[in-house]
Structure 1
Amino acid sequence: MFAGEIRQLWRYPVKGLRGEPLRSAVVDADGIAGDRLLGVFEPGTDKSVWGGSHPKLMGWEAAHPAQCSNADSAAGDPVLYESGGAAWALDDPGLPARLAETVGADKGVELRRTRGSAGRMLVVFEASLRRLSEQLGREIAAARFRPNVVVDADLEPFAEYRLERGSSIRLGDNDFTLQKPCERCVLPSWTPDGSNVRDMELHKHIIKETDNHFGIYVTTPARVVVKVGDPIAG
């Protein structure tokens, strides 16, 4: 048994780009509304242009425009911001060429709709993040793992990986189901700001110490709302 609270919420409207912090989020069987709805691809193919192959993608950010009635709304198309701060509308004809140029995608890029976040939400525990930082002797930012939810709970570091799959986790007033731990690709080893610097020691450490897992996936069949500051329990 454990208890704690939600400290951060994040949404990534475009896979591979930096995301946006939220105060609240609508979640349903498709995951967080507006999360990972767009992907970057080589033109005319299904080959992804992603952060592991083009880490400069993370120099770009995607965010939904604030709505007067709900600043965390996923209504409308996201706006893309390059590392220098210039904003691009999704339908701007110059966007693909500019994105390809700045991230080194020599074959060009296309932005296309995807299947979203596969109906799941990635939760990272602060205790495990702190222990990872202690083990490596430097701060490891949560942003490296592209979480949807960062929680602080009274669990020992890495204890979340011993939780039984299919068990219930309560976020706010809502029951979620633990799907599985998140198996990591090479992406966390790249700096999450697009500066194109790789931390191979971090990658090797995760493989050795946590069986190449960090964070857990949770799902819900219902349409619910979660907020920063909500209690959690499991």
Structure 2
Amino acid sequence: MLIGHIEEIVRHPVKSFRGESVAETNVMEYGLYGDRSHAFSDDTGKGKYLTITQFPEMVRYSARFAGEEAMSEYPSVEITTPEGKVMNWGDAALALELEEKSKRKVSLLSYTPENVPLGAIEEEHIQLVTDASLEKLKELWGESAVDHRRFRPNLILSLKDKTPFIEESWFGKRIKIGREVELQVNRHCERCMIVTVDPDNAERSPSLLKTVFKERQNNFGVYASVIKTGKIHSGDEVHLFD
């Protein structure tokens, strides 16, 4: 059954940095190509990543792959700081800047396309949200708009049937994207303080999380796992199967 199409594809080459919207990408066993393939370890906390939770200004750093997708190694990662300075992943100045701003000791972690841990988002492979649910949440929140970047999804779906939160009825079902890729929709995405952080200026809006908690039992968006890999494109049709 045709349920809509892919409105936007977003991957995050660096965990907790602003992601990049891409016209097409490969879906790997772990999720979108290169999603969360680079990260900062918070060395003040054993085994922890440095994320927006500890350092909200991370959301103002943007990261993109500066090159074509390759299966042997990732293209270089280009990072733009909030002040507009362009750096590359691995620059000592970048780590030093984050340490000084966050007041934490950090180290750089990165993977190759072949050894990214399964579940690039830590929880599941891919997170998706729908246009109808975003529009309804805007109404519930009472603001003029809800920026989807607050929720850090990989796929934004434009639904044929604009029923808010209908994606929550897809648990245990499969969706097919384009000609190749299949995902299984598994469960809710439970939200945390990250959604309160404005992706443009890192200012906090606690009322959004309060709204999600009150109206949606703290859930917004859904997680899916990869069943069949392949390439997806913005605009691809999305079909639902039992």
**Which region of structure 1 is more displaced relative to structure 2, 88-97 or 27-36?**
88-97
From 143, 157, 161, the counterpart of 2:164: 157
Structure 2: distance between partners of 1:222 and 1:169:
10
Unpaired runs of at least 5, structure 2: 112-116
From 205, 219, 223, the counterpart of 1:213: 219
**Aligned-residue identity in percent:** 27
The match for 1:224 is 230
From 151, 173, 177, the counterpart of 1:171: 177
> 2:67 touches 2:75 (CA, 8 Å); kept in 1?
no
**Which region of structure 1 is more displaced relative to structure 2, 34-43 or 22-31?**
34-43
RMSD after superposition: 2.1
SS in 1 for 2:213: helix
The match for 2:121 is 117
> 2:2 touches 2:237 (CA, 8 Å); kept in 1?
no
Decide whether aligned partners of structure 1 residues 2 and 185 sit closer, same or farther in structure 2, where only a CA change above 3 A counts: farther
Structure 2: distance between partners of 1:155 and 1:139:
17
> 1:2 touches 1:155 (CA, 8 Å); kept in 2?
no
Aligned pair count?
Answer: 227
Structure 2: distance between partners of 1:181 and 1:107:
32
Q: CA deviation at 1:2?
A: 5.4
Decide whether aligned partners of structure 1 residues 7 and 20 sit closer, same or farther in structure 2, where only a CA change above 3 A counts: same
Query: Where has structure 1 moved over 6 Å in runs of 4 or more?
Result: none
Structure 2: distance between partners of 1:95 and 1:24:
28
Structure 2: distance between partners of 1:88 and 1:46:
26
Structure 1: distance between partners of 2:198 and 2:136:
19
Structure 1: distance between partners of 2:238 and 2:12:
22
> 1:28 touches 1:221 (CA, 8 Å); kept in 2?
no
Q: CA deviation at 1:109?
A: 1.9
The match for 1:196 is 202
Could you list the per-position Cα deviations for residues 45-64 of structure 1 after superposition, in whole angstroms to 9, with x for gaps in the alignment?
Answer: 42322102211011111110
> 1:49 touches 1:109 (CA, 8 Å); kept in 2?
yes
Q: TM-score, length-normalised on structure 2?
A: 0.86
Structure 2: distance between partners of 1:179 and 1:12:
21
